[in-house]
Structure 1
Amino acid sequence: MPTPDRTSLAEIVEAGRSLLEQHGLDGLTMQAVAARVGVRAPSLYKRVAGRESLIALVAEATLRDLAEAAERASAAAGADPGARLGALARAVRDFAHRRPVAYGLVFSPGAEQRLDPDLLAQASAPVLRAAADLAGEERALDAARTFTAWANGFVGMELSGAFRLGGDVERAFEYGVEAMAAAVGGAGAAARS
């Protein structure tokens, strides 16, 4: 008679996400997850192939949450593409502040090797739509990449404490949102004329 399952893949991934935020990537171990869900580490291998698979599952769960937050923000912002880009930047920033280690995992070099390409496309869709509306279809990918790079760079610097010159970081972020939306829209208008 087989032994009953004492945990699910969803519980394992959620435990991994919690451990990641509390103890960083080094603290995300099979042993720590097993202890968190109340089983012995060998039991996890029924559900997860190993630590790298666990990290990939945690990264994908994070990206899925980020994609959902982006879709909600985009929908709530309405039809104006500049307002949608601003809402997307704010949603990403808010997410990064709530889950900074997971955010870093998703945006770290090499993360794309852990992430499902369809999920990456889903997460990118809201910014690509807003960028297309501002810059035109031909320049949408360029505009989305530029805006995403700015937002990710700003958030990364903020999370690492790199803004040391004083001043109002919130105001700087809003300035950047406005400037980037205007730049993307201006480049799109210039390309269409």
Structure 2
Amino acid sequence: MKRALLTLALLAAPALTGAALAQTAPATGTTGTNPASGQQRTIEAITARSDRGFSIRVPAGWTPLKNVPDTDVAFAYRTVGALRPTVTVRTQDVEPSIKATLADFRDLFAGQLVKDVPKLKMLGEKTIRVSGTPAILWTYTGDGEGGGVRWSQVFTLRNNRLYTVTLMTPNGAPADLIEAGREILNSFALTGK
């Protein structure tokens, strides 16, 4: 019964939560000419902060995407092969009466992955901490739209809000892109109480 309620709550959550507002702020200014010095400035990183209780930092070269359905923030990198690497953060409020745990979501997501990802191959699962809160890190591969894909996904639960961070890179992505992806996932922080 609990699993059925949890599934229903997650399916309804996007309609209930609406679009979250996120602010993106360059760490070192915007691209363009500095009026005071006349010198060119570049963005070294962008930190997205959301009133939904999180922040995430992406390095230069990642472009913020707007109006991505059921997503709080999204960034894309330049095309690698036939695919554009992306990182997304999604939050979902969970009805407190369900009393869902991180393990409940892990089991629900594991069952859904098998259905949603063609040629799924789970590469690893690790228990980690995000801002002191238990979290799960998954790495898996499968077929995506346009070719073979590697996903790294972090999900955690705090104060009846589920946070899911997903990094998608094409198979065979350059090592520096993989490292940048690790840094992005590691930068994810919970800022709410």
Give the TM-score band, short-chain normalised. Answer: under 0.3
TM-score, normalising length from structure 1? Answer: 0.26
- Larger % of helix: which? 1
- Larger % of strand: which? 2
- Which structure's CA Rg is the greater one? 1
TM-score, normalising length from structure 2? Answer: 0.26
